[in-house]
Amino acid sequence: MGIIVNGTDVALPDDPRVSLLDLLRERLRLSGTKKGCDQGACGACTVLVDGQRILSCLALAVQYEGRSVTTIEGLGDEGALHPLQQAFIEHDGFQCGYCTPGQICSAVGMIEELRRGVPSHVTADLAATAIPHSRDELRERMSGNLCRCGAHNGIMDAIAETYGAETHAEAAE
């Protein structure tokens, strides 16, 4: 068994030193996932594994045998963008674009954590079953993704428009 990347079964590397990030970029030529710091500090390499966001630079590919990896290439395509990709365009959620795939994969994983009720550093009530999709929550939960162009406000606008609205809808019910 190999690793399932965007729905396709691919072989594990023979060398256990190969990171999941290098497997994606260098061997599978899926260059959407970016190498920023390569030491777990920037979030540019964020991908989804079985729906959970992780850092592919700190992941040895051999550890992910049988797991399902989704990269930015698996989220959307030209002419069929993921809603979050479209929102990033509309809200200027990037300038150079290097951190963008990681930001988007991270946000997709983030919203599942929020819906599941995973607490964050800014969650006031740990006992609450529903956590508000507030700006503070979204910002804290995206703090593992750095943007050196400083597009964070646009990024937050894009995420809030795509996912924040559901809170208001829920609150109104």
Partner 1 sequence: MTPFSYVRAADADAAVRHSGVDAKYLGGGTNLVDLMRETIERPGTLVDVTGLSAEITETDGGGLLIGAAVRNTALAEHGLVRRRYPMLARAIVAGASPQIRNMATVAGNILQRTRCAYFYDRAGSRCNKREPGQGCDAIDGFNRMHAILGASPACVATHPSDMCVALAALDATVHLSGADGERRLPFADLHRLPGDEPDRDTVLQPGDLITAVELPPLPIAARSTYRKVRDRSSYAFALVSVAAALSVENGTVTDVRLALGGVAHKPWRASKAEQALCGQPATEATFRAAAAAELAAAEPLRDNAFKVELAQRTMVAVLGELAEVEVLGGGA
- Please, what is the minimum distance in Å from the beta carbon of residue 6 to partner 1? 19
CA distance 89 to 92: 5
Compare residues 89 and 152 and give the one whose CB is closer to partner 1.
Answer: 152
Query: Which residues in the 73-102 window bind partner 1 by CB under 8 A?
Result: none
Task: List Cβ neighbours of 95 (8 Å cut-off, separation of 6 or more).
Answer: 149, 150, 151
> For 59, phi and psi rounded to 5 degrees?
-105, 125
Q: How far is the CB of 157 from partner 1 (least distance, A)?
A: 19
| Token pair recorded at residue 4 | 């399932």
| 43 makes contact with partner 1 (CB under 8 A) | yes
Total interface residues for partner 1 by CB under 8 A: 36
Q: How far is the CB of 39 from partner 1 (least distance, A)?
A: 5
Binder to partner 1 among 25, 53, 82, 133 (CB under 8 A)? 53
Binding positions for partner 1, 99-118, rule CB under 8 A = 106, 109-110, 113, 116-118
Tell me how far apart the alpha carbons of residues 55 and 147 are, in angstroms, rounded to a whole number.
16
Nearest Cα residue to 22 out of 75, 59, 73, 69 = 59
Are 99 and 147 in contact, with CB atoms under 8 Å apart?
Answer: yes
Nearer to partner 1, 145 or 167 (CB): 145
Binding residues for partner 1 restricted to 123-152, rule: CB under 8 A: 123, 126-127, 140-141, 143-145
Helix (H) or strand (E) holding 49: strand 46-49
Structural contact between residues 91 and 32, judged by C-beta atoms closer than 8 angstroms: no
Contacts with partner 1 by CB under 8 A lie at 15-17, 19, 38-40, 43, 46, 52-55, 58-60, 62-63, 106, 109-110, 113, 116-121, 123, 126-127, 140-141, 143-145
